[in-house]
Structure formats: structure tokens, C-alpha cells
Chains A and B, each alone.
Chain A
């Protein structure tokens, strides 16, 4: 418990969390602070490339084991299963329509890559190593949740779903984030330690500083979301936004322990299962379930679950992972 409180305290006072808090405060206080769109896009490209490359280089250094394939399968299974649990919870806890519940549920099966990046930064800061291929697991968890949500709608006989056409499937599987993450992972894997040494000064040292600025922007965006969409957050919806990541993390913990992952790997699997998408899935939902309320799922995933995971969730998941693995 003391360890967890210490970790939580360190996390809350870390530059990345304080940067996020600054953005959130500035936005809620209606400051004109703004990160230009192109700068935010550039930073997200940098972070995805860096995290993918480092993951690939780590796999090249430590080698592959059978757990890679099993971890990918576990990620896909979790991503497909968690929306069904989220859907059930939403129906019990909120008065949401079937369509809205399915759209929200999809977000909670998919992942937030920024939460994943922040968690890897916390692990690195504490000297806790993790399996480099968790980056690939993150990429594998993006899409199955969307299929589950569409299945939930079709199962209910709803006519709200437009279904998954080939164009939508291609857009999901080849969205820029996934291509960059997997591509950088492959480059890191192919070039290994030598490749990492060559660009280390670019992708390792500035990483945390860029992450701080990126999270400042995320704080601004989350604050705007809360300001604009706060009205949709009833008590039940808000409770779901905090409860679901905890439920997801328990499933992630179970899967990671079954796979025998390291302490860092367990923590990251919990983070992935606990996080909610706000980039890939909202876009897919706007195409596949256009009648679902975007304020609801964006405010929940970005305004509630993302800050919760960043401030409380990550130290909690890392603490639990350390405790159960004896790490």
C-alpha cells in the first residue's frame, strides 16, 4: 500500500501529469492557450515512431519467445470480449440506448496509445523492463472491439448499424497510427541495437519532453470535451467511465498472468485493457453507427477514462503488477 501511494504521489507530481493538468486547467478556465494542429500531429507521429522503434529494438535484443504469438492472441481476445462486458455494464448502470451503449462499448475494448506511451514512460522511469512486443499487442487490440460493437447491434436486430464494408475495414486496419506503430516496430526489429544507437539522440532523450507537450495538448482537448460534452455525463455514465477501466485491468491482469509476462508486461497489459480509444474507434463509429451520440463516447473516453488512467490508473496497475509478480 505504501509503495502504491508513493508511486501514485510520484506519478501525480511527474512532469507529464502536471503538463496534462496544466492543459486541462487552461481549457476549463477558457484560456486561449492552443497547440497548433500541425504541431500536435507532428508530436503524435514522433511518439508513435519512437515507441514502436524502441519496442522493435527491444525484441531484436532480447529475442522472440512463444509468448509473442500468445500475447497477440490474448490482446485480440480481450479487445473482442471487453466491449461485451462494457455493454452489459452500460445497460445496468445507465439508461443509454442500445446504439449508444454499443458505440461506447467499442471504445473500451480498443486502446488508447497515449495512455500506453505514458505507462511505458512511468515503467522506464522506475527501471522496470517490459516485453518490447507489447507495442504489437497494442496495435492488435485496436480493431476487434469495433467488430464486437457491430455484432452487439446486429444481434439486437437494430437497424442503426451500417455494417462493416471493405472501405471501413481498410480504414481501421490501415489507419495512420497502426501503420506507423507497426512500421516503426518492424524497423526497430530489423535494425536492432545498432539502429537504436544511431537515432537514440532523437527518439530516446527528447521523448519525455515531447510527451509532456503532447499531454499538455491532450489536457486542452480533454478540457474542451468536458466543457462541451459535460452535460451528457450523468452519475451512472460517470461511474462507468471510472469502473470500466478497473474491470478491464482485471481481465488484462488475468491474461498477463496466464501468459507469464514480466512485471512491466503485466502492467502494460492491464493498461491496454483499461484504456479507451479516442482516435481510431470514434472515426469508425461515425461511419458505422452514425446515429450514436459522439459527445457521449468522446467525453467518456477522453474526458473521464483517459485522465483517470493517467492519474490514478497507471500507478495502480503498476503497483498491482509489481505486487502479484513480486517484481
Chain B
């Protein structure tokens, strides 16, 4: 089966920043992404879980995009402008996709 090189970008960010991030991604031309709920975790501020939150301020989501390698810099610039000062993680991994025209 023919596969094509792509970049998978995972941005884990606070709930309150989700729409700001996805707006910035769309403006940068990244129209395909998925938003996943984060059930809980542990970081510099200690452990937390989604069930124990009373405020939208405390939860996290993960925005996942798969793009062509040449569009990576534009995506990261847009994402960084939003997430720079906030809690979160941005990671990039190489991946292979089956239908290149979709990315």
C-alpha cells in the first residue's frame, strides 16, 4: 500500500483556549483537526482529573492535526502565538498517511 509522509501535531491545552487555538489554526489555513477531551493527568501543578472540575477553567483538551510537512512551520507559528503563555504541551511526530490529497 502506498503511504505518504506527514506530520502529526498534538497540542494539549486548557479548555478555555480551545476556540482561540482552533480559530488561529483556521486562519493559518489548517482546516482539518480533531479536538479530544483529556480525562486527567499530572503536571507541574499536580494531578487532576476531568470529573473533579467545577469550572471550565480547569479542564484540558487535545487538538490533533495531521498536515503535509511543508505546512508545519505556519501551523506552529499560529499555535505558538496562542499557547505561548499558557499551560500545555505541543508535540510533533512523523507519521504516514494513506491519502495524501486529504492533508
| Residues of chain A whose beta carbon lies under 8 Å from any beta carbon of chain B | 34-37, 40, 162, 167, 218, 220-221, 224, 228-229, 278-279, 282-283, 285-287, 290-291, 294-295, 298, 302
Contacts and interface: CB of A to CB of B under 8 A. Distances in A.
B16 interface: yes
B54 A228 contact: no
Contact of B57 (A37, A220, A294): A294
21 contacts: A37-B50, A37-B53, A167-B19, A167-B20, A221-B53, A221-B54, A228-B46, A228-B47, A278-B54, A282-B55, A282-B57, A283-B16, A283-B55, A286-B16, A290-B86, A291-B85, A294-B45, A294-B57, A294-B58, A295-B46, A298-B57
A208 to B, nearest CB: 20
Contact of A302 (B17, B54, B85): B54
Nearest to B87: A290
Contact of B58 (A40, A167, A282): A282
Contact of B45 (A278, A282, A295): A295
Contacts, number: 55
Contacts of B19: 167
Contact of A290 (B51, B55, B85): B85
Contacts of B46: 228-229, 295
A11 to B, nearest CB: 22
Interface string B31-59: 00000000000000111101111111110
A62 to B, nearest CB: 33
A279 B55 contact: yes
A286 B54 CA distance: 14
Chain B, interface SS category: mixed
A218 B14 contact: no
Contacts of A34: 51
B51 A283 contact: no
B53 to A, nearest CB: 7
A221 B14 CA distance: 19
A229 B45 CA distance: 9
A291 B84 CA distance: 11
A162 B85 contact: yes
Contacts of B56: 279, 283
B68 to A, nearest CB: 30
A283 B86 CA distance: 13
A283 B54 contact: no
Contact of A278 (B16, B48, B55, B86): B55
Contacts of A40: 54
A298 B50 contact: no
Contacts of B20: 167, 287
A36 to B, nearest CB: 7
Contacts of A162: 85
A4 to B, nearest CB: 30
A218 B55 CA distance: 11
Contacts of A220: 52
A205 B47 CA distance: 39
Contact of A286 (B48, B50, B51, B57): B57
Interface string B71-92: 0000000000000011100000
Contacts of B57: 282-283, 285-286, 294, 298
A93 B33 CA distance: 47
Contacts of A295: 45-46
A82 to B, nearest CB: 20
Contacts of B53: 37, 221
A36 B51 contact: yes
Contacts of B48: 228
Contacts of B52: 220-221, 224
A37 B58 CA distance: 13
Contacts of B16: 283, 286-287
Nearest to B45: A295
Which of the listed residues B14, B15, B19, B57 has the most CB atoms from chain A within 10 Å of its own CB?
A: B57
